[in-house]
Structure 1
Amino acid sequence: MIDDIRTPIRAFIVENFLFGDESQPLPDDMSLIDNDLVDSTGILELVGFIEKEFGLKVEDREIVPANLDSLARIVAYIDGKRAH
């Protein structure tokens, strides 16, 4: 179940923030913000993708690094939202 979240999120990040370059490392726990992969606009693009791809509503108060700063955190956030 986690892979059905991780795979499209990873593909979105690679395509939109790494410009399709799959040779760059993208460990699950790597900070997207600290490693300059996403900025505030990128976070909003990511939120839009999550809402569309997974049919979830991301509340403004949920747009924080604890939920969206790494692949692992994004997957955990989406999995938690699905569970509710």
Structure 2
Amino acid sequence: MMRETSALSACKDSVRAFLAANFYVGDVAGLNDDSSLIDQGIIDSTGVLEVVGFIEQTFGIAVDDCELLPENLDTIQGIAAYVMRKQHEPAPTGALVRVT
């Protein structure tokens, strides 16, 4: 449990740093984990796509179109929880593996 809490905290820190580096965030310290990034004007629809790209590159997961939901991508807490869930999903059975 402690390891999961630490991983979640590290993920939130990474997301917060990405947002601060790539979007206008007036007060990074005041950016709460559960504040809506869209409602605060930090990200817009294009920004969501940038966040998705960040998630895929940084955490090595694929974001499916059906997962582009506010509960997954509108808050730092939501993004971190989504990443943790995706990283702990079992690999699909019967998936093709390319060997080069």
TM-score normalised by the chain length of structure 1: 0.90
RMSD: 1.5
2:84 pairs with one of 75, 79, 83 = 79
How far 1:3 sits from its partner (Å)?
2.1
Would you say how many aligned residue pairs link Structure 1 and Structure 2?
A: 83
User: Where does residue 4 of structure 1 map in the other structure?
Assistant: 10
Q: Does residue 40 of structure 2 align to residue 35 of structure 1?
A: yes
1:17-69 per-residue CA deviation (whole Å, 9 max, x = no partner) reads 126x5556210000001111100000000000000000000001101101000
Aligned identity (percent) is 43
In 1, Cα distance between the equivalents of 2:9 and 2:67? Answer: 22
Larger Rg belongs to: 2
2:22 pairs with one of 16, 23, 28 = 16
Q: Quick one: higher RCO (CA 8 Å, sep 6+), 1 or 2?
A: 1
TM-score normalised by the chain length of structure 2: 0.76
